[in-house]
Structures are given as structure tokens and as C-alpha cells.
Amino acid sequence: MLRKLTIALASVGLLAGLTACGSSEASNDADAPLKVAVNPVPHGDILKYVKDSLASKAGLKLDIVTFDDYQQPNTVLKEKQVTANYFQHVPFMQEFEKKSGTKLTFVAPVHLEPLGVYSKKVKTLQSVPQGASVAVPNDPANQGRSLKLLADNGLLTLKPGAPTSATEKDIATNPKGLKFKPLKAAQLPRSLEDVDLSVINGNYAIEAGLAPNKDALAAEKAEGNPYANGVVTLPGNADDPRVRKLVQLLRGPEVKKFVQDKYKGSVLIAS
């Protein structure tokens, strides 16, 4: 009987341990660390600066979870493994909401990573040859953004009323006969050897040693730009004091100076 009781107690203890270890839901305890999913550059760098230099004084504990792609930060937020993420702009968030049926809240913008057109084969956009190959992001929001950048620089025109998630079907004129090659955003810097032009997201350009303000043949401007990256959470956590405190720090003068000093115009502070 004693042996059976010992086994039973051990089983209960094991079950309790597994339950504790298996719990993946982010805590909303005001004293618990705020778990935030990010891309490494510049989001992870900026958040690490906040954690190392500002958070403790502000009474905020941060737990940074880094992902190299654009899908997992929203997936782990949806599954409540983190309380917030910091990697995306509003059009991208809206595409995720549409596909997943999950409602998210964009709390506040922080910075803009200018999308740029890069090439190892041509020196100017005026010298782009007929039938040139162009690599673009394959997610709808950033693909539409890349087509708009090409249109703004005279390589094509879009149909009136083209959505932010524009595709090739929304192109009105393509005088150069550009041929598009949609790729995962992280693969775009590596495509430079294989295509005439590559439209690269700012974070992946920086990781590859490219400076949008120096190396791009054309880059987005900050004024009136809807693609500022910011802090996103689930609606129920939008008023979490830890989330609000993080936003306050990210939009403060110390972070502004850090971004300006470190990225020298390749990352722009959102208004």
C-alpha cells in the first residue's frame, strides 16, 4: 500500500511539473517580465538597448524572443507565448488578421526601415534593361509596397485605386517588361547575384551590410509613409502597463538618439 501511495504521489508531482514546464502563455502579471517577439535587426538591437540602458530605471523587465522570419512573431503572439511583438507595420498586420482570423492591436509606431531597390548589375534605374528580372517580397503587404516603390520611380504604373497589397494584376503599364520573382523577404539580399534588381526590406538590407540611404538605387521616404514598424499586441493587452511603458521608452529621446547614431539614416524614427 505504501509503495502504491509513493508511486501515486510521484505521478502527481511529475504531472504538475509537466504542466508548469508546458505552459506557454505569456504572463500579464504587472511584475512579470514583458515577453516581446522581434526580428534581430534593427528591432532586436533597439530592444536590447532599451533592456540594457533604460528598462531597469523605468521598472520594466524585458524578455526578448528573436525570430528571423516574418511569420513566427505573430504566430507566437496569437498563441499567447509572448505578450507583444515589435517587427511589423500596419498593412502587414492587417494581412495577418485577414488570413488568421485573429484580431491584433497596433499600439504605436516606432521606426521606419526604408524599402530599397538594389542591384549588382545596373548603376541607375534609367539603365535597367528590357525584360529585367526583379526580386520582390512574397508577402502581400510588402509586395504591394515594392510595386509602389517601383511605380514611384517610373519603372511601372499601377491601376487607379490599387490596394496596399497590390500584385502584378494591379500593374497598369510595364514599359520595361519587368519580370517579377517573389521570394521570402529574408532571401532577397542573396538574390542580388541572380536578378537585375531586388527590392529589399530595410531590416534584411541592414543585416546584409547594405545601407538604404547609400546603396539603394531608390528608397522610400519617411514623409506620409504608412509602413512604420511598431509595437503590436492582442486587444486585451493593449492597456497592459508594461506594454505602455515599453512604448514610452521606444518613442523617447534616448532611443531616437540611439537609432540615429547606430543606423545613420538607414533606420528612421517614426513621427
* pLDDT tens digits along 149-171: 999 999 999 999 999 899 999 99
Pair 37, 129 in one domain: no
Residue type for position 120: K
Pair 212, 235 in one domain: no
Could you give the CA distance from residue 120 to residue 111 in angstroms, rounded to a whole number? 28
Q: Residue 20: what pLDDT? A: 34
Select from 269, 260, 224, 240 the least CA-distant residue to 35: 240
Report residue 108 as a C-alpha cell: 504605436
Pair 234, 257 in one domain: yes
Mean pLDDT for 47-67 is 98
Of the candidate ranges 17-21, 54-58, 101-105, 132-136, the one whose mean pLDDT is the lowest: 17-21
What's the domain count of the chain? Answer: 2
SS3 track for the chain: CHHHHHHHHHHHHHHHHHHHHHCCCCCCCCCCCEEEEECHHHHHHHHHHHHHHHHHHHCCCEEEEECCCCCHHHHHHHCCCCCEEEEECHHHHHHHHHHHCCCCEEEEEEEECCCEEECCCCCCHHHCCCCCEEEEECCHHHHHHHHHHHHHCCCCEECCCCCCCCCHHHEEECCCCCEEEEECHHHCHHHHHCCCEEEECHHHHHHCCCCHHHHCCEECCCCCCCCCEEEEECHHHCCCHHHHHHHHHHCCHHHHHHHHHHHCCCCEECC
Pair 208, 131 in one domain: yes
Q: Residue 25: what pLDDT? A: 52
Mean pLDDT for 179-197 is 97
Tell me how long the chain is: 271
Contact of 96 with 73, CB cutoff 8 Å: no
Q: Residue 16: what pLDDT? A: 37
Could you give the CA distance from residue 109 to residue 119 in angstroms, rounded to a whole number? 30
Q: Taking 50 as the threshold, does the pLDDT of residue 69 lie above it?
A: yes
Q: Residue 3: what pLDDT? A: 41
Could you give the CA distance from residue 165 to residue 149 in angstroms, rounded to a whole number? 13
**Which among 219, 234, 256 is the end of a domain?**
219
Pair 179, 199 in one domain: yes
Q: Taking 60 as the threshold, does the pLDDT of residue 209 lie above it?
A: yes
Residue type for position 233: T
CATH number at residue 261: 3.40.190.10
Select from 187, 267, 207 the least CA-distant residue to 199: 187
Q: Residue 28: what pLDDT? A: 65
Helices 241-250 and 253-263: crossing angle in degrees, nearest 10, is: 50
pLDDT band at 213, cuts 50/70/90? confident
Could you give the CA distance from residue 103 to residue 36 in angstroms, rounded to a whole number? 18
Q: Residue 221: what pLDDT? A: 86
pTM for the whole thing? Answer: 0.83
Mean pLDDT for 193-211 is 95
Mean pLDDT for 104-110 is 97
Phi, psi of 91 (to 5 degrees): -60, -40
249: domain range?
28-114+226-269
Q: What's the mean pLDDT when you consider all of the chain?
A: 90
Q: Confirm whether 12 is domain-assigned.
A: no
Report residue 241 as a C-alpha cell: 502597463
**Which among 180, 195, 219 is the end of a domain?**
219
β-pair partners for 219: 116
CA dihedral 80, 81, 83, 86 (to 10 degrees): -120
Pair 120, 201 in one domain: yes
Q: Confirm whether 137 is domain-assigned.
A: yes
Contact of 40 with 68, CB cutoff 8 Å: yes
Residue 18 vs residue 71, higher pLDDT: 71
Q: Confirm whether 263 is domain-assigned.
A: yes
